[in-house]
Structure 1
Amino acid sequence: MAKDGVQVRAVAEFTPDMVDTLREYFHSYAVEGVVSIEVSTHGLWLVNPIGGRQFLGLARLPDNAPKVLIN
């Protein structure tokens, strides 16, 4: 536990494109003025209140992601 009693559970990183997407779809995905974002190993997802989810993005690959070389 941190000195101030706060525990960090997750960190989400956003690119400008991800913020633009969130702004564009905010009202479609909001429930009572709040949008839920799922944080997964495969990125961030906008939770659709009527079911499903939409990929929001991934700001950077995790350190342990497999590296793919393209020639």
Structure 2
Amino acid sequence: MTDRPTANRIVAEAEFTIDMVDTMKKYFDFYASDGVLRVQISDFGLWLPHPEMPCRQFLGLARLPEAESKH
């Protein structure tokens, strides 16, 4: 028996523009593996990693990062 989390905790979020969605649709067959498209989240945006090669395509950044709050 495996331990199950007691709550549905959010661990990451991603925002997509319509252009980013169009890009995912356009390149879906190229970047998908077994009918699933994986998206990587980095400090500089979202990426489509190639399932078989060590490369990736920049998908985009829906919004500029918020400036760190000054306290």
TM-score above 0.5, yes or no:
yes
Detail structure 1 runs of 4+ shifted over 4 Å in the superposition. Answer: none
Unaligned 5+ segments in structure 1 are 66-71
Aligned to 1:59: 62
Unaligned 5+ segments in structure 2 are 1-5
- Normalization by structure 2: what TM-score? 0.81
Q: What is the distance in 1 between the residues matched to 2:60 and 2:9?
A: 25
1:23-34 aligned within 5 A: 23-34=25-36
- Normalization by structure 1: what TM-score? 0.81
Superposition RMSD in Å: 1.4
